[in-house]
Chain A
Amino acid sequence: MTENQQSLFAAVDALLAQPRDLPAPAERVRLREAAHYSRAELAAALQVTPGTVAGWEAGREPQGATRAAYARLLDGLAARYPAPSPAAPTSGPQTASDAPSGISPVPTPAPVAEPDRLPNGSVVTATVEPCVLCARPTPYRAAGRPQHMGGLCATNTGATPTSSPAGARTAPAPADNASGGRPQREREETGGLIAQAVTQALADNGGDVDAALAVLVKRAIPDAMALLNSTRVGSTYDFTNYVDTDAIPILAKPSRDGADQIWEGRPKWRNRQVEAGPGRTVAALDVNGAYLSALKTYLPIGTLRHSEGGEYDRKRSGVYLIDPPSWEHEDLPNPLGHRQTPGPLWVTDPTLRLLIRLSGPKYGLITPPVIHESWTSGASEALLERFRRELARARDTAIEDGDHITLEYVKAMYSKFVSTIGESAANREMRRPDWMHIIRSQAFANLWLKARKARQAGLTVVRMMGTDELHVIGDWRRVFTEGRKLTEMKLKDEYTVGRED
């Protein structure tokens, strides 16, 4: 190559490297999704955080070298997945005629850009009728027929949800993105992470299920954290990942592997009366995915703050020093679990909520607990909700499909998540021992409520232990549905208890 050529090429390269307009944000999202990449994957390739990619897709502009790389990526994707031609009417009309809204069958009307106008120039409005394009109500008219202004059906924001096409949630139209706010699609897309990881692991191991599962279980913790981070995008509350345990004495461990002072209320209970009575058959029931369900709980958002005494605030969560109320009911376990040391104890929010509930007029089982001290922060039940839903959905699908590998992978993700978000060297991305205690306590509280439900329905509760075991006598299928779903119970074993006569 001659020197002249070289300088020519350099000049061309410089031109190519100039900042130029990137595709519109909606198009950026479409391209990425068309290629089935997650934000995290894109971010890893471009050496930025998934949040940054989310920012670009929300309209922010990348800078410098990253911009060039992103532009190149989008160009490549655009070549592979060209935009659908805008001339043909999109799925709107078809969806509309499929929708059970009873509109007259109009032969695929084309969108009319200009709305009908009165002679004075103002837009014609009439009785609200279903739009011929999207079947959602509109007062506007175009070419004499009800239609949204300028054919902008998807952007109408006040649409009644009942009349929207049934498929809208699972297959949002690309134009949905322009509607502002947080579109539904953001909530949908992270579900791909789990399926992608499983597919990838199977491909890497040549379809060997056991080997793939071993790999997946091994990376369950980082994968769970990546999934959690992907569900945080666009969420209302930004929770704190690291609490300074040195500043919160009750969360500090006395030694390197000692336990802190929190009492989680783990149940370990057996019904003495039944064991002394005549022999009867007991069904040992198991709660499905107890810790997964327990992710739905009020979690403190920020760092815990100390306060002395006082009332219980439902909008806060954390840990509380209480006087344990006495428990006088022999047919039901103590909601505080198997506590043998007397005196005040530190309990978490779910346990306290349960105690307060049980002291109310509806239950009237105990005296109200007295709070001495607390370490709390403002709380939300929604912090892990999207994370939980993603996992629950993957679990449900895996059970339906008999997909053993996804099921085990999901199980490893949520159980390891709960056990390592405290102070664990296995998970450095988070240090929330308070959350760990709270989630566990929530699982125990859920189990207690199931025991109570069984008792109310006339069953005899024989044992309640661990996180998920409930042993009962009687026709339990009347009370609980048998199955593997999160809302159902699984029969683990049947045995005989009592004196053998």
Chain B
Amino acid sequence: MAGRWNNFGEFGAQGVPGWVALGRELDRQVTGIKSPVDSPRGLAARLRYLTKSPAGMEAMRRAGINARQRTIDAWLQKKQKPRRANLERIDAAYWDLRRRNLAVEWARRLERGTRIEIHPVDQRSVVRGREREIPVRRMTVRGHQIWDDIIQAWVDGDAGLLDIAWDEIITDIGSDYDSYSHVTSIGFGF
């Protein structure tokens, strides 16, 4: 993390590290099955999504579902209901796979770059005289390399890589880049 803003929050500024906001913004853009997993409709939709491809089976395995193929088939045909613990794992597996699949699509769309909006830290409760002048910043982030890194880090939950990517973005701002190592939120579309 860019680091001259050493004791962040010492004078009352509120915000989160830029990479956290970056991850949150990506989380916000995730779309998928809206029905909850404990509804018959939501469960059926998740199971269909997960059993359609080898990647789905892999995702279930990663989520810790050890059920045999016969059991999964029985779930699919609604002859049997998964146990509570397995329901949660199915939900986790679904969102895991969904994020991976979205990531592929997003990486493709982000090849051309996109414009991001950076909302600076909230300084309303900062000690008087210690405020900084930090405007809302808009900048276009180009280059598939950086977006590939960001999305990969987001899928893997790799905070370190996401942090490095954020540093790379804000260094483009110039001399006051460090003002944006912490932010309230980030917005972008693709």
Contact = CB atoms under 8 A, between A and B. Distances in A.
Interface of A: 49, 238, 240-247, 255-257, 302-303, 305, 425, 427-431
Contacts of A49: 115, 140
Interface string B116-130: 010100001000000
Given A241-B117, A244-B184, A425-B31, A302 B136 contact: yes
Contacts of A425: 29, 31
A246 B119 CA distance: 14
B108 interface: no
A362 B65 CA distance: 70
Given A240-B136, A303-B119, A428 B190 contact: yes
Nearest to A241: B117
A244 B119 contact: yes
B34 interface: yes
Contacts of A428: 29, 188-190
Contacts, number: 45
B184 A247 contact: yes
Given A246-B185, A247-B185, A430-B189, 18 more contacts: A240-B117, A240-B187, A241-B117, A241-B187, A242-B185, A242-B186, A242-B187, A242-B188, A243-B187, A244-B184, A244-B185, A244-B187, A247-B184, A257-B34, A303-B119, A305-B124, A428-B188, A429-B189
A10 B142 CA distance: 30
A301 to B, nearest CB: 10
Closest 4 CB pairs of A and B: A242-B187, A428-B189, A244-B185, A256-B34
A305 B123 CA distance: 12
B24 interface: yes
A245 B29 CA distance: 12
A238 B188 CA distance: 16
Given A247-B185, A257-B34, A240 B119 contact: yes
A358 to B, nearest CB: 34
Contacts of B115: 49
Given A242-B117, A303-B119, A431 B187 contact: yes
Contacts of A430: 189
B113 to A, nearest CB: 9
A255 B32 CA distance: 12
Interface string B24-40: 10001101001000000
Nearest to B188: A242
17 contacts: A49-B115, A49-B140, A241-B117, A241-B187, A242-B119, A242-B186, A242-B187, A244-B184, A246-B24, A246-B185, A255-B34, A257-B34, A305-B124, A425-B29, A428-B29, A431-B187, A431-B189
Nearest to A425: B31
Interface string B98-141: 00000000000000000101010000100000000000101010
A307 B151 CA distance: 37
Nearest to B109: A428
Nearest to A225: B189
Secondary structure type dominating chain A contacts: loop
Interface string B149-187: 000000000000000000000000000000000001111
Contacts of B31: 425
Nearest to B124: A305
Among A238, A246, A428, which residue has the most Cβ atoms of chain B within 10 A?
A428
A238 B184 contact: no
Contacts of B124: 305
Contacts of B34: 255-257
A150 B20 CA distance: 60
Nearest to B118: A242
B121 to A, nearest CB: 12
A490 B185 CA distance: 45
A245 B24 CA distance: 11
Contacts of A245: 28
Nearest to A306: B124
A306 B115 CA distance: 28
A431 B185 CA distance: 13
Nearest to A44: B112
A256 B30 CA distance: 11
Nearest to B142: A47
A375 B29 CA distance: 24
A60 to B, nearest CB: 16
Interface in B21-62: 24, 28-29, 31, 34
Contacts of B117: 240-242
Contacts of A246: 24, 28, 185
A429 B119 CA distance: 16
Contacts of B140: 49
Contacts of B189: 427-431
B187 to A, nearest CB: 2
A322 to B, nearest CB: 24
A246 B138 CA distance: 20
Contacts of A431: 187, 189
Contacts of B138: 241
A46 to B, nearest CB: 13
Among A244, A247, A305, A425, which residue has the most Cβ atoms of chain B within 10 A?
A244
A284 B120 CA distance: 50
Contacts of B187: 240-244, 431
A304 B90 CA distance: 38
Nearest to A303: B119
Interface in B57-83: none
Nearest to A49: B140
Contacts of B190: 428
A238 B124 CA distance: 20
B138 to A, nearest CB: 8
